[in-house]
Amino acid sequence: MARDCLARVTAGVAVGGAVGGAIGAVYGTYEAFRFKVPGLLKVRYIGQTTLGSAAVFGLFLGAGSLIHCGKSY
């Protein structure tokens, strides 16, 4: 049971990180061009937005998976 729960939480973090990274990359790119971020700072800005979104989405989806792990339907 504990191993099954750990696998679910890990999968939740991975899926949340992937979805958050994709959304963060799109949003970061949009904002970098919208605010006219100069030169190579665009790459840094997009990277920060991507990693931040991936971390937040991964955290929340992992926490949600952990909450649902104990429930039996």
The pLDDT tens digits for 8-54 are: 999 999 999 999 999 999 999 999 999 999 999 999 999 999 999 99
For the entire predicted model, the pTM comes to 0.87
Report which of residues 3 and 45 the model is more confident about. Answer: 45
pLDDT at 4 over 80: yes
pLDDT at 61 over 90: yes
What is the DSSP code string of the chain? -HHHHHHHHHHHHHHHHHHHHHHHHHHHHHHHHHTT--TTHHHHHHHHHHHHHHHHHHHHHHHHHHHHHT---
Q: How far is CA 22 from the centre of its chain?
A: 8
